[in-house]
Every structure is written in C-alpha cells, then in structure tokens.
Structure 1
Amino acid sequence: MTAGQRARQVANVVNGTTLLGLAVALAASRSISQGPRGLIIASGYRWRLPHAGAFTLGNVILCRIRTDQLMSNRELLGHEEKHCSQYACCLGAPFLPLYFLAAGWSLLRTGNPASANFFERQAGLAAGGYPDRRTPGPAPRDAGGIEV
C-alpha cells in the first residue's frame, strides 16, 4: 500500500465509517474478504436499500456481485475506491449527508441522482455505471436564442 492508501485506511477506521461498514457487511453480506490497497470487500449484499449494485462505507465496499466479479472490473473497483477516499476527506460520517444533498441536487437538476452529483462525478460516472444526463443551461437573454 502507498502512504496515501494507508492514511485513508487509518482515517476511515478512526472516523468510524469502516467499522460501520463492517457492521453492515456482517448483517447484510454473504462474504467478507480483504481487497487490494486496504479495501475490504463485502459481496453478496442482500438488503434492498440502497438500490446501487455497489456502495461504500469507509473502506468497505459492499456489492451485490461476487468478489471475483468486482475484482475483475477495474473501473468499478476504482470508482468505489474513490468513494472510500471521499469518506476520509470528509472526515467520515459527514460524507453521508453531503452525498445525499448532492444526490438530491442532481435529481432536481437532471432527473438522475448521479449525473450532477459532485461525488459521483469525481469518482467517474461511467466507471460507476451512471449516465451523464446533465442538460445545458438556458441561453442568456442577450444570446439571441443560441444555447451556450
């Protein structure tokens, strides 16, 4: 692991989000295994919410697919790893309300909770399997009807 990956791992243990992730994983997943770069993968997630195929709590990636399927999908694994780093940058639990505010903002703007969500855009929309449904803003009044 790099120094940054180790720092993320320690930060997410200290801020409690990895422990929360492990608790949810124990209750709702079929398998928990050590992943790369300090990540923990909980596969076979069986609760109905959230609807996502994969999501993170601290350094724990909870997914509905098998561990080997996630490990072979480098883009999705990288996307979820970026969310793990976002937890560390947001000092843990504050990530959750910030994420939901960003999802609500995105839903209002685009009809999709990910398309204009800052956190999803930073993690990579396509890598997470999300569409980019942002629409151009209205043209300024003096633009002669031309959209900019």
Structure 2
Amino acid sequence: MKLIVLYLIGLVFGVGISISGMANPAKVLNFFDIAGSWDPSLIFVMGGALVTTFIGYKLVFGRSEPVFEGDFSVPTSRTIDLKLVGGSAVFGIGWGIAGFCPGGALPALGTGRWEVFAFVGAVIVGIFLAKWFQNRQPAGATA
C-alpha cells in the first residue's frame, strides 16, 4: 500500500509540474527575467504550492504519527550557517542558470531532452561532491 501511495503522490507531482510549465526551462527563466520578457504566471504555481503545503502540514503534523512510518523525520536544526546559506545560493544559481529545479527536473526526464539528463547528472555529481567535502571536514566543524 505504501508503494502505491508513493507512486500516486509522485504522479500527481509530476503531472502538476508538467501542466504548470515548471518542466519548461524557458518559462522558468522568463519568470526570473524581471527586466526582460518577464512571465509572472509561475507566481500562481508557487502560491498554489504554498497553500497546498500549508494545508498538508496542518493535516500531517496534526496526527500523532505518520501513516507508513514510526515517527516523523524532520530537520531539528534552526541554525542559519554557511552550509545552509551556501547550499541555498548554489540551488538558486543553478535554477537561474539552467531553468530547472531538482524537483521539477525529475518529471522532465520523461521528455527525453539531453539538457534535462545533463542537469540531473550534475545534481547527482553535486550531491556526491557535497558529501565528499562534508566528510573531509574535521569532527565538529560547522562550515
């Protein structure tokens, strides 16, 4: 049952990403191009996602425990450090350059475009590089 629910959630997400235009890098880049050919339509997509997330969090965290797991797995750190700010900057820069965010790129793999595969490959390499750098830090370092 858990796999069916996960599949359906992924399917709804992928269809939503496709319908909204978030899988189209030109549309995303036009959203970021405020001084040029700005396309504000993604504000509605992001607003819809924000409302859905707000309702979802209220419903999910109103329960004593998750349906398919023993407990909730949520970040506990509230520290704004170099790792958080740097990761956010890399995420935003990558999104602005490529026109894909990692979540939107996964459903876009279905288009078969080489650019999407190159982007997802770069994300995977970035994940491994981040882990490698993190493992090279001395114990207790927070940078």
Task: Report the TM-score when normalising by structure 2.
Answer: 0.31
- The structure whose residues are more often helix, as a share, is 2
- The structure whose residues are more often strand, as a share, is 1
Higher relative contact order (CA 8 A, sep 6+): 2
Task: Report the TM-score when normalising by structure 1.
Answer: 0.30
